[in-house]
Structures are given as structure tokens and as C-alpha cells.
Amino acid sequence: MARLRIGLTGGIASGKSTVADLLAECGAVIIDSDLLAREVVEPGTDGLAGIVSRFGDQVIAGGRLDRAALGRIVFADPQARHDLEAIIHPAVRRRAAELEAAAGPDAVVVQMIPLLVETGQQNAFDAVIVVDVPERVQRDRLIARNGLSGQEADARIAAQATREQRLAAATVVIDNSTDLADLEQRVRQVYRELTGEPGC
């Protein structure tokens, strides 16, 4: 079991990956659920076979998962999203547990889980960090990063817990509404407070 187990969450495009990169620089071991959710649907996996049997060949391009095509389907249809999650989440959780066990007894482990609140994992960690931005900032960054329409961005935001629900689950809130230099200072301070290590 790791020395300190931290859950990291936040709404889509709130800045979780950016915060995770900064925590890694401080020495944390990062377990990224989005990355694992990609690994478990690589060609040849049971995950990809399950997706093809549920959604058909329309979500395959060049032998791989067409993520944009699947995204258009599942963010417009809650039942489809639920079915996809039922295929992917168990495999992601197994892999995350393996990686955490491999991290060793002294590690500070950060599990980055976009759907931490939605999947009821708020009490599964020593601390839960929520990366927080106002919805307007979140929406603008999502549109800029993913090239989505306003309507598509709204659908993705609506597929997640509300800002208030996430804040209610937080033991630590990191505000990411200003610039990256501010964010870096905040993340370093949170790391020092949570670990008691002066170094970061």
C-alpha cells in the first residue's frame, strides 16, 4: 500500500492533466484513468471486442477505435454511455490497482479519475483534490482544445457531475481559473501540505 493515496478529479478540460504533470514533477506517481481507458481498447483487447459487439464497425477506423465517432454517439445518448462504461471501467480499475500495488510502500500515488464523483469513489482515498474552474472557462478551454461546437461542449459537460457535486467531494480544491504560473504555485503548495515534504 502506498504511503499516501490521492484521488484527483475535475470536470472535463478543468486542467486535471496539467495538475497531474505538476504533481509528477514533485515526485508523485500518477495513474491516469484516461490513459488506461485507451490501453484497454487497443487492437486485440477484450475491451475493443466488447465495443464492436455493442456499437458495430461504425466506431472502427483502420482497425482501431475511432474515438471521435464513439464520442459523438455516447455523449448524445446516456444509455450508450452507460454501456460503454460497463465495458471499460472494470478493466480500468483492475489495471489501476495493479499499477498502485507496483508503486511501492513509500510512494505518493495520485489516481487521476475524471469520473471519481460519478462512480462514488470520494471516500476511497486519503485526500481528494478537485481542480475547479467556472463553467464558462471550462467550456471555452474545451472548445479550444477539442475543436468542438458549443453544443457538443455543453453535452460533454452535462454528461458529468455538477461543479457543486464535485466541490462537495473535495478535501482540497485547486483553483485553475487564472494562468499556468499561478496553477504551478498552488499545486506545489498542495503537495507540500499533503505530504509534509518541504522539497517541492
Among 41, 91, 130, 183, binds ligand ATP (CB under 6 A): 183
DSSP, collapsed to helix, strand or coil, labels residue 117 as coil
Rule CB under 6 A: is residue 67 a binding residue for ligand COD? yes
Q: Which is nearer to ligand ATP, 171 or 177 (CB)?
A: 177
Considering only the stretches 53-61, 71-79, 147-155, 172-180, report the one whose residues sit in contact with ligand ATP under the rule CB under 6 A.
172-180
Q: Cβ distance 29 to 110 under 8 Å?
A: yes
- Tell me how far apart the alpha carbons of residues 166 and 2 are, in angstroms, rounded to a whole number: 24
Q: Which is nearer to ligand COD, 30 or 195 (CB)?
A: 30
Distance CA 23, CA 188 (A): 7
141 binds ligand ATP (CB under 6 A): yes
Burial 158-184 (b: 16+ CB within 10 A, else e): eebbebeebeebbeebbebeeeeeebe
- Among residues 13 and 84, whose Cβ is nearest to ligand ATP? 13
Looking at 5, 6, 7, 14, which residue binds ligand ATP (CB under 6 A)?
A: 14
Contact 105, 1 (CB under 8 A): yes
Asked if 111 is part of the footprint of ligand ATP (rule: CB under 6 A), the reply reads no
Residue 163 interacts with ligand ATP (CB under 6 A)?
no
Stretch that binds ligand ATP, among 44-52, 80-88, 99-107, 179-187 (CB under 6 A): 179-187
Print the binding letters for residues 16-35 with ligand ATP: x by CB under 6 A, - otherwise.
xxx---------------x-
State the chain's maximal CA–CA distance in angstroms: 53
Phi and psi of 86, rounded to 5°? -65, -25
Q: What is the dihedral of CA 191, 193, 195, 197, to 10 degrees?
A: 90
Report the residue count for the chain.
Answer: 200
Q: Is 199 labeled as ligand-binding?
A: no
Chain contacts with ligand ATP (rule: CB under 6 A): 10, 12-18, 34, 114, 141, 145, 176, 179-180, 183
